[in-house]
């Protein structure tokens, strides 16, 4: 059984070994070694070259090696009638929470100012509010959003989550739906975006929504760049409405050389590094799912493209 495999950062040996261990004979095909495309039944991909997967007539499932799937749906010729299975990985969830906690603390404790003070040899300490007086708002309450909420709550922060549909997380105020979005924004001293990218969430952070946040608030984006209207965020940063932003994801990646985010003093750029998929655990999850298919089962979780996850 042939599998199209495309993940630039991955070692094929590790995957071969994982299939072998599961007792599956897998013929891994790469973009430059497709062989007879009629043999290809599964695809395991991160940002595969556009146009390829649409030419596999017998493709049964596409496995994303990331939690997000816009790297697949961005291909105008992607065979979207084929179910897409996204990665669900506890390690990725933990890594994402660590990234978020890092930036929440960085902003809450004013660490972002101390770098400059050090350069100026200035000994100046800022007092910061109690954690319980800092309102952290999380947009998106999937597995990662819920985990981040719980951990920030455990650190004593005043946490509110927001999702499309009602959710319950002990100790965390959960809002939902368009009607309660304004309430979330009004109480977002630090706003974290974890929403999947859909037509509804594209540019969800824009001049109008940023204006509803408290003055001097912070934005942490670790979902998809296109959730933010970049010109509007830059204007809000310039005016001081938004004090600083930690951006891990961008509309165009790698971030183009002439992008103003690079040089903005209050923007912290990381290269889509918040929660890189771990090859070993991704292989365990996906090989397990393919085994399920071979045994006549259905893999999970299958993405609902309207919801984006």
Interface residues with ligand GLV (CB under 6 A) are 66-68, 277
Omega into 301 within 30° of 0, i.e. cis? yes
CA dist list (Å): 242 to 15, 128, 214: 44, 17, 8
Q: Closest approach of Cβ 145 to ligand GLV, in Å?
A: 14
In three-state secondary structure terms, 15 is helix
Token code pair at residue 125: 């300490």
Q: Closest approach of Cβ 92 to ligand GLV, in Å?
A: 6
Cβ-based nearer residue to ligand GLV, 152 or 274: 274
Cβ-based nearer residue to ligand GLV, 229 or 277: 277
Cβ-based nearer residue to ligand GLV, 7 or 157: 7
Q: Closest approach of Cβ 42 to ligand GLV, in Å?
A: 19
Q: Closest approach of Cβ 67 to ligand GLV, in Å?
A: 4
Strand order through the sheet with 242-247: 173-176, 158-163, 135-139, 190-193, 217-221, 242-247, 267-269
Alpha helices (H) in 78-142, listed in sequence order:
90-108, 111-119
Cβ-based nearer residue to ligand GLV, 75 or 158: 75
Question: What does the alpha-carbon distance between residue 194 and residue 127 come to, in Å, rounded to a whole number?
Answer: 29
Q: Closest approach of Cβ 132 to ligand GLV, in Å?
A: 31
Q: Which of 99, 115, 272, 307 is catalytic?
A: 272
Omega into 239 within 30° of 0, i.e. cis? no
Residues 286 and 65: beta-carbon distance below 8 Å: yes
Cβ-based nearer residue to ligand GLV, 56 or 250: 250
> Is 224 part of the annotated catalytic residue set?
yes
Q: Which of 106, 224, 251, 264 is catalytic?
A: 224
Residues 150 and 142: beta-carbon distance below 8 Å: no
Q: Closest approach of Cβ 148 to ligand GLV, in Å?
A: 15
What is residue 93's DSSP assignment?
A: H
> Is 272 part of the annotated catalytic residue set?
yes
CA dist list (Å): 55 to 78, 79, 144, 285: 9, 8, 34, 26
CA dist list (Å): 281 to 31, 88, 135, 163: 23, 10, 33, 27
Cβ-based nearer residue to ligand GLV, 68 or 161: 68
* Active site residue ranges: 224, 272
């Amino acid at each position: 059984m042939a599998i199209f495999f495309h993940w630039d950062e991955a070692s094929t040996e590790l995957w071969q070994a994982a299939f072998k261990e599961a007792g599956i004979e897998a013929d891994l095909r790469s973009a430059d070694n497709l062989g007879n495309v009629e043999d290809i039944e599964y695809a395991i991909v991160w940002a595969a070259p556009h146009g390829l997967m649409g030419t596999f007539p017998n493709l049964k499932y596409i496995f994303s090696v990331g939690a997000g799937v816009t790297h697949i749906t961005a291909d105008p010729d992607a065979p979207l009638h084929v179910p897409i299975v996204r990665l669900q990985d506890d390690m990725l969830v933990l890594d994402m929470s660590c990234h978020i906690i890092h930036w929440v603390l960085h902003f809450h404790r004013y660490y972002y100012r101390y770098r400059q003070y050090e350069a100026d040899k200035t000994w100046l300490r800022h007092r910061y509010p109690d954690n319980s007086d800092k309102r952290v708002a999380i947009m998106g309450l999937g597995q990662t959003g819920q985990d981040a909420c719980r951990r920030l709550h455990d650190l004593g922060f005043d946490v509110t989550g927001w999702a499309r549909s009602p959710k319950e997380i002990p100790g965390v105020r959960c809002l939902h739906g368009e009607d309660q979005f304004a309430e979330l924004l009004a109480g977002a001293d630090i706003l974290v975006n974890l929403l999947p990218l859909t037509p509804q969430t594209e540019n969800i952070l824009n001049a109008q929504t940023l204006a509803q946040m408290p003055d001097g608030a912070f934005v942490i984006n670790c979902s998809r760049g296109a959730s933010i209207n970049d010109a509007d965020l830059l204007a809000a940063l310039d005016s001081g409405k938004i004090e600083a932003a930690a951006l891990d994801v961008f509309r165009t990646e790698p971030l183009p050389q002439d992008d103003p985010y690079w040089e903005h003093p209050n923007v912290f750029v990381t290269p889509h590094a918040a929660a890189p998929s771990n090859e070993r655990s991704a292989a365990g999850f996906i090989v397990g799912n393919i085994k399920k298919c071979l045994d006549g089962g259905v893999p999970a979780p299958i993405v609902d493209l309207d919801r984006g996850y």
